[in-house]
Amino acid sequence: MKKLLKRKVIIPVLLCAVFLTTSAFKNDFFEIAKQIEIFTMLFKEINMNYVDDTNPGELMDTAIKSMLADLDPYTNFMNEQDVEAARINNTGDYTGIGAKVKTLKDKLLIIEPYKDYPADKAGLKAGDEIIKVGNTSILDYKDDAGNLLKGTAGSQVEVTFNRQGKTQTTTIKRAEVEIKAVPHFSMINNNTGYIVLSSFSRKAHSETNYALRDLKAQGAKRIILDLRGNPGGLVNEAIKIVNLFVPKGQLVVTTKSKVKKYNRTYYTQNDPIDTEIPLVILIDGKSASASEIVSGSLQDLDRAVIVGSRSFGKGLVQRPKELTYGTQIKITISRYYTPSGRCIQALDYWHRNENGEAVRVKQENYNEFKTKNGRKVFDGGGVFPDVLIGSYKTSPITSAIVNNDLVFNYATNYYYKHKINDINSLKLNDTDFKDFKNYLKTNNFTFETDTEKALRKAFEIAKKEELNDNINTDYNTLISNLNKSKSTVIDENKDYLLNKLTEEIVKQYAYREGLYDYYKIHDNDIKKATEILGNLSTYSGYLN
């Protein structure tokens, strides 16, 4: 009886201790418990008493996503499929057919087969439309059809696909697929090495380390590290990559949170590979998170010249927390700061505008910081390059063209219509652009702008109020003029669209590996980086 009494006393004491020492509940425990109780009762009553049948899973999914939408876009609930996708992203390994595949309603679209992997060996090419896997029609499959291509290494699957209007079949033997963090490294000239780092998976440091050592062995006396389009990943990998170029014991990044245990100061832990080799880092508007830790810290330490366009501006750190039934939540737990003390977060998710949209930190509100050599750098807007090369300005219309696969589909058709012996000589011209615009018309590309939506809504209200008689002609004239303006916007974005078309076409002929070889000849950022590294006084001038 005494033992039982002891247990009854100990359990409440332990529970109290847990609540008292959990900093997140420190002040709000009663309010949190109250709101959970209200929500539980509400959820139960709806599912038991609503007039029609409800789907508890879908209701809860909507509730969770709506709640998280008020925070920031990086705090996300992850179901079991999301957790597996995150694992693949972090490790770079999975079992499958070795291709980038887009799941559509009635087909699986091959976006990019990886060279020498199963899909490629089976003869699949970009643009192929898989309509059946085994005996299962994609159109009739209700779950994620992409899962049909997964399976154990060595297992086989027959797929039926359409290519340029013809139906074919092939058998794919699944295998272990390794997605490289460093998909390419090579010499640009006798003295300059080029490394592409596309993600910060668990292999990022080891592969960058290997590439750097290999290039130095080939005679590289200067290095270009390409972080363009790299969305980030694991912070520890970023720190170890910085460590390749700076001494042991150097401060790289600091994180600050309302929860004290998440406050961290990260220093380099190992001996570097080379602290003297001239280094240029390429960034663009899609270089984010860990890419900004590498570029921002090496800029602060005056260890690299940054070339390109302003980075994305993500100064937030996330951590996954395990939930039940194999799910997780990825929570923004802190902000990070580069060695100079700046946080490069560009969007303010906590002070939104009247439409509930996150606002960009205004330039007049940037704070000034100093690099190791006393150069001025600023917070609040991503990493600013030391050498700015104008980036393409896109519009919602051009984004819609790309997102609707029209660039990709045009490139696929181009591949089957043109025989090119030397893909590195490809240069699209005005005739190609005119042909692309005709392709948009032929494929009935339509995009309704926010202006058109507002006008249509106003006109519908006018009709309800029977006020449309006198404005009908003016409305049609406005819509006609807007369509002309949309065509003008496409023309104004010619360079951007031709660049996207070129990239897709080169990949169709020479895989992604061929695209990097094409960049080394034609890319303006790489040309500028090579020029800077070719003159040590120019290079040093940027850092002093």
Give the catalytic positions in this structure: 289, 300, 314
Q: How far is residue 208's CA from residue 316's CA, in Å, rounded to a whole number?
A: 24
Of the candidates 243, 359, 240, 230, the one whose C-alpha atom is nearest the C-alpha of residue 283 is 230
CB 449 within 8 A of CB 486: yes
Amino acid making up residue 198 = S
Measure Cα distances from 541 to 103, 231, 415 in Å: 50, 30, 45
SS3 percent helix, strand, coil of the chain, rounded to 5, is: 45, 20, 35
Report the run of H or E that residue 157 belongs to, with start and end: strand 156-163
Taking the CB of residue 92, how many other CB atoms lie within 10 A of it? 19
Q: Output the DSSP codes for 58-119.
A: HHHHHHHHHHHHTS-TT-EEE-HHHHHHHHHHHH-EEEE-SEEEEE-SS-EEEEEEPTTSHH
Q: How many residues does the chain have?
A: 544
Q: How far is residue 532's CA from residue 534's CA, in Å, rounded to a whole number?
A: 5
Strands 279-283 and 222-226: parallel
DSSP 8-state secondary structure symbol assigned to residue 26: T
Report the run of H or E that residue 16 belongs to, with start and end: helix 2-21
Of the candidates 314, 361, 309, the one whose C-alpha atom is nearest the C-alpha of residue 338 is 314
Of the candidates 178, 159, 162, the one whose C-alpha atom is nearest the C-alpha of residue 170 is 159
67 φ, ψ to 5°? Answer: -65, -45
Report the run of H or E that residue 264 belongs to, with start and end: strand 264-267
Sign of CA dihedral 72, 73, 75, 77: positive
